[in-house]
Amino acid sequence: LFLENDLRQAVDRHELLLHYQPQIDLESGRLVGVEALVRWQHGQRGMISPGAFIPLAEETGLIVPIGEWVLRAACIQGRKWQQSGMPPVRVAVNISTWQVRQPDFVDMVEGILDESGFDPQLLELEITESAVMDNVQEAVRILNIFQQRGISLAMDDFGTGYSSLSSLQRLPLSKLKIDRSFIREVTSNANDAALTSSVIALGRTMGLGVVAEGVETEEQLDFLQRMNCAQVQGFLFSKPLPANEVSTLFERSF
Ligand code: G
Ligand code: G
Ligand code: MN
Ligand code: NA
């Protein structure tokens, strides 16, 4: 497969780059964080979105070196933002199940934090239910180490997996991210509306922040505001942006 061979070399060829999608706190209206999202600038095919190569990276295990590159690049950028005198911006990084299962995962994260000098309090790791649920005990152990370091932990794509509430309660999470598949029809589909409002209520009960992803319309925003959803992310506010455009947005926001 051509694409797989190309992907194998993408890191070494410096073909990966990160864009950052703003996350807005609804109460204050402020930008509170950004989610790092990888893109692949392919030599022949141009810019490839993660939807088109992350699944391949997951199948082949290439997500391990790619994920390490992403975390390093995000922490280096986060450190630059910190040093530029910008208000503190939390940087969220997607972590795949494969990465969590690497025996050196904790050392890798700590090494990158030390190396980059990025404040762990400003780092958020987005994990999925599948990364946690097949070995809850081990996940609890690892995530507790991160929590002790001050790193935030968000459950990504929440609602699409099979977390049990008792397992969820054992994890030191700070945030649930409602998957955008539920937000898409939240104003027209009663099931999606019910699930979304339940997750918001669950977050409140468990003392967790809740972020709705994929917010594209004023109607969706209106629904989320009525349900007291804390944070939103989506095209209505901003698409994922290159790092320099994030600084500009922050300057305007504060
Ligand atoms: O941009 P797009 O909607 O095509 O993204 C598709 C998927 O790729 C999303 O589910 C997103 O979580 C995932 N993704 C984007 N960047 C990263 C990354 O750095 N690591 C991992 N594991 N997934 C990512
Ligand atoms: O699964 P994850 O949350 O990591 O995926 C984030 C992906 O969703 C990014 O690739 C981003 O480009 C995409 N995305 C962000 N906001 C929106 C939105 O409002 N609508 C849609 N359709 N996709 C979005
Ligand atoms: Mn995510
Ligand atoms: Na998601």
Q: Where are the domains of the chain?
A: 2-253
Mean pLDDT of 41-66: 95
Ligand 2 pocket residue status of 50, Cβ below 6 Å: yes
Mean pLDDT of 204-229: 97
Backbone angles phi, psi at 240, to 5 degrees: -60, 135
Residue 55 tokens read as 């699944």
Its ipTM equals: 0.92
pLDDT for 8 beyond 80:
yes
CA angle 243, 62, 131 (to 5 degrees): 85
What mean pLDDT is reported for the chain? Answer: 95
Q: How confident is the model at residue 254 (pLDDT cuts 50, 70, 90)?
A: low
The Cα 107–Cα 200 span in angstroms is: 34
The Cα 104–Cα 32 span in angstroms is: 30
Q: How confident is the model at residue 53 (pLDDT cuts 50, 70, 90)?
A: very high
pLDDT tens digit string along 164-211? 888 888 999 999 999 999 999 999 999 999 999 999 999 999 999 999
Q: What is the pLDDT of residue 159?
A: 87
Backbone angles phi, psi at 46, to 5 degrees: 75, -160
Q: What is the pLDDT of residue 166?
A: 85
pLDDT for 161 beyond 90:
no
Q: What is the pLDDT of residue 127?
A: 96
pLDDT tens digit string along 55-107? 999 999 999 999 999 999 999 999 999 999 889 999 999 999 999 999 999 99
Minimum CA distance residue for ligand 2 atom 22 = 214
The Cα 182–Cα 159 span in angstroms is: 8
Q: Which atom of ligand 2 is nearest to the CA of 235?
A: 19
Residue 217 tokens read as 């319309």
Cα separations in angstroms, 106 against 28, 29, 125: 34, 34, 12
**Most informative mutation of 17, 94, 211, 215 for ligand 1 (most atoms within 8 A of CB):** 94
Q: What is the pLDDT of residue 164?
A: 81
Ligand 2 pocket residue status of 47, Cβ below 6 Å: no
Q: What is the pLDDT of residue 163?
A: 82
Residue 221 tokens read as 């925003």
* In the block, residue with structure tokens 């019910």: 194
Q: What is the pLDDT of residue 118?
A: 98
- What DSSP element (H or E) covers 121? none
Minimum CA distance residue for ligand 1 atom 7 = 51
Listed range (24-28, 146-150, 160-164, 244-248) with the worst mean pLDDT: 160-164
User: What is 2-253's CATH superfamily?
Assistant: EAL domain (3.20.20.450)
Ligand closest to Cα of 54 equals 1
The number of beta carbons lying within 10 Å of the beta carbon of residue 169 is: 10
Q: How confident is the model at residue 232 (pLDDT cuts 50, 70, 90)?
A: very high
pLDDT for 1 beyond 70:
no
